[in-house]
Each structure stands twice: as structure tokens, then as C-alpha cells.
Amino acid sequence: MPWDNSPAKRAASEATYGPEYRTNRAIARRRARGRCEQCHHLHSRLEADHIVPRSQGGTHHHTNLRMLCKGEGTCKCHDTKTAGEGGGYRKPNDPEPVTRTEW
């Protein structure tokens, strides 16, 4: 598994997010099927992103989560998105892009 499972990290993320977030992240991860939900490439490194940031009242529900690629060897969609946060990035009620024109 690519994510850090050290006890300290787990305790920290438990305090910040808790089981609701982890459950919904698992749903988002299955939904993405290894594909970044922004660039739509298959990337091995994906992270759950809050579409509406927590700082702007976004929830942990899976409809507010999407998997974005992050780090070396990807398009860094999550890094780009995080860097642009703070300026009203996206409206809460944007529809999910569920049309599957590729398949």
C-alpha cells in the first residue's frame, strides 16, 4: 500500500478525519478504479481530494471526494488543486461527471 501506515500518522489522521472519512474515501477509491478523476489517466498514486475544501465547509461524504493524482510521475492534479485553494475553487453543487463516454 502506498500510504503511510506509521502509528503517529494514523493517530493524526484519525483525529482529523475519523472513520467516516475513511469509509467514504474507500468508496471514492473504488469509484475511480485507479484513474485520476481530473486528468482521467491511470496513475498509481492517487489521493482523496475534498472537492469543497474542509476549510470552506466541505464534508467527508464521498460525493465531496474524488481521487486525484499526486507526486512524481503523475500530472500532480492534487498538488495543483491544493495550491489553488482558498479562492473559491469549485461550487458545492457541481454535478458529478458520471457520463462514461470513454467506455
77: contact with Zn ion by CB under 5 A: yes
User: How many angstroms separate the CA atoms of 59 and 96, rounded?
Assistant: 15
Nearest residue (CB) to Zn ion, 10 versus 41: 41
> Cell 472537492 maps to which residue?
51
User: How many angstroms separate the CA atoms of 1 and 6, rounded?
Assistant: 12
Task: Choose the stretch contacting Zn ion; rule: CB under 5 A; options: 5-13, 16-24, 50-58, 66-74.
Answer: 66-74
Q: Measuring CA to CA, which residue among 18, 32, 98 is closest to residue 69? A: 32
Give the interface size with Zn ion as a residue count (CB under 5 A).
7
27: contact with Zn ion by CB under 5 A: no
> Min. distance of Cβ 76 from Zn ion in angstroms?
7
The pairing of beta strand 46-50 with beta strand 65-69? antiparallel
> Min. distance of Cβ 81 from Zn ion in angstroms?
9
Q: Please give the residue ranges that form the binding site for Zn ion (CB under 5 A).
A: 36, 38-39, 41, 69, 75, 77
